[in-house]
Each structure stands twice: as C-alpha cells, then as structure tokens.
C-alpha cells in the first residue's frame, strides 16, 4: 500500500501544467532567441503575431519575452482565448515593470490583467503605483483589483520596480482562482528579493459575478494603464512564462489512499 509520505508528496504536487495556455514562454520551438506569439492575439498590431513586441538578450526575462510598451502602436495588449477552460485553476507568470521617473505627485500603472469567465465577468488585476509626493523610481508598486465600482488594494508594496531594462527585477505572480458560488481568488507575488506577499481571499469580480457553471475563457494582458501623464515612453512591462495549471484528481485520490494506509498502520501499532 502506498505510504503516508508518498501520499503527502502527491498531495503537495497535485497540480500539473496542463496544455491550457499555448506558447506561454513566447519562444520558438527550438528555444532559440527568436520570438513567436503563436496562440496569442496582438490587440494593437494588425496580425496575431507581432515580433516587434518581443525582447531578447539582457532585456528579456528568459530567452525571449513579450514587451508591452504604450509608446508604440505595435507593442500592445496580448490575449489568448481558452477553448475548454477549467472552473478552478492556478495562473502564474513572470513579469518586470520599468520606469525612469520617481514617484512624485503622479500616479502610473504598469500592467493590467483581465481573467475572464464564461458569463462575461472578469477579475481585473492591476500593478500600479499610487499618487504620492516624494519617493524614488525604485519604490515598490502595489497590486490592486477593480471590484466594479472602485479599486481595492490587494498587495501593498509587493512588486519590485526596475529602473534599467538591462537589469530587470523579475517578479512572479500567482493567482489561485475558483469560479463558483461564491467565487474566490488569492493573489501572491514573489518579488525580486524572493519575498512572497499574499492577499487574503478576494471574492469581488468586475462585471457579472461568476457562478458555479463559469469557466475560464480568456486571459488579456492589457497595456491600457502604461502611462505617465501624456508621455508613455517612461513605463514598460515585460511578460514571460505564462502557465495555467489545474488540480489533478488522480494525485488527490492517491494522497487520500496514502493517508488512509498510514492511519491503519498507526491503529495496528496501538494494538
């Protein structure tokens, strides 16, 4: 019979990177420094694939990354529709945000993410920096969610900010989401220093509130908040390694079996 240690190991690893998102690393099949946006739609460019939105070398998080810079009409939103999306999933991605301006009497946004579900509702999650006097360009940014009427601060000072595109401070965001009655999602960010910041469970979505029949239908990384007053060239987002994973029922069942066997062994020892 499977042991309790093995059962716990399976339980801890009970998610897999399913083939739900296509080409989340934006790399060619040979993993060379040649970008491809196969599977993604470029909302601003004229074609679904736009190599002008790719960065390589020291400006990339890994071999190639997606560059989202509001200054150029060719470097805009990236979205991907999901044909058979799950109702419970984990979304993860690496990102870096860049600005060369100190935080002083202005507000600026860096990256906005729409996680959409089947009933036209969505979770709207944004990396931003609030208006405040003083502060440096390296000050960390916040994560906020839009509830349909106002922004809600989810993570305060959780995101490392880069001031050089050749020395990226890479963050990793994880979103655990359940569409149901009620729905919930938990956001966590591991910053460039390796510190993880985690929100409490959030339940408010923009638009129509999802229900038990809702499924993931689309991811949309939106550049609409990449702004600095009337000049856009001072903020840039770099995106890479987008994955969606789902619970694996088989691993959960084996974990339960292992724990049951361990309990039986303890009972026999007591006798």
Give the model's pLDDT for residue 228: 41
Give the model's pLDDT for residue 133: 65
Is 192 in a helix, a strand, or coil?
coil
CATH of span 20-246: 2.60.120.200
Residue 8 and residue 90: Cα distance in Å, rounded? 20
* Model confidence at 107: pLDDT above 70: no
Q: What is the mean pLDDT of the chain?
A: 75
**Pairing outcome for strands 78-81 and 88-99:** unpaired
Here the tokens at position 204 are: 């408010």
Give 11's pLDDT tier (boundaries 50, 70, 90): very low
* Model confidence at 102: pLDDT above 70: yes
Handedness of CA 72, 103, 58, 171 (dihedral sign): negative
* 221-240: pLDDT as tens digits: 887 655 543 455 677 889 99
DSSP at 249:
H
pTM for the model: 0.80
Give 91's pLDDT tier (boundaries 50, 70, 90): very high
Residue 62 and residue 234: Cα distance in Å, rounded? 23
* Model confidence at 2: pLDDT above 80: no
Residue 140 and residue 145: Cα distance in Å, rounded? 17
Give the model's pLDDT for residue 106: 55
């Amino acid at each position: 019979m499977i042991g309790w240690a093995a059962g716990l190991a399976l339980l801890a690893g009970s998610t897999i990177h399913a083939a739900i998102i296509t080409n989340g690393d934006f790399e060619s099949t040979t993993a060379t420094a040649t970008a491809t946006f196969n599977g993604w739609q470029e909302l601003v460019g004229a074609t679904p694939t736009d190599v002008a939105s790719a960065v390589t070398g020291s400006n990339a998080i890994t071999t190639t990354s997606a560059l989202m810079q509001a200054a150029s009409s060719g470097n805009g939103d990236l979205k991907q529709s999901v044909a058979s999306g799950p109702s419970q999933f984990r979304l993860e991605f690496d990102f870096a945000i860049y600005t060369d301006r100190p935080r002083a009497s202005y507000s600026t946004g860096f990256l906005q993410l729409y996680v959409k579900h089947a009933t036209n509702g969505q979770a709207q999650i944004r990396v931003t920096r609030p208006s405040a006097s003083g502060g440096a360009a390296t000050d960390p940014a916040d994560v906020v969610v839009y509830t349909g009427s106002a922004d809600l601060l989810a993570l305060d000072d959780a995101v490392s900010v880069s001031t050089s595109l050749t020395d990226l401070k890479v963050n990793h965001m994880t979103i655990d989401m359940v569409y149901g009655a009620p729905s919930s999602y938990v956001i966590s960010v591991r910053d460039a220093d390796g510190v993880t910041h985690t929100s409490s469970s959030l339940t408010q979505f923009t638009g129509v509130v999802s229900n038990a029949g809702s499924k993931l239908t689309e991811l949309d990384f939106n550049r609409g908040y990449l702004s600095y007053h009337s000049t856009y060239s001072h903020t840039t987002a770099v995106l890479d390694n987008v994955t969606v994973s789902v619970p694996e029922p088989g691993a959960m069942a084996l974990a339960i079996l292992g724990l049951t066997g361990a309990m039986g062994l303890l009972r026999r020892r007591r006798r």
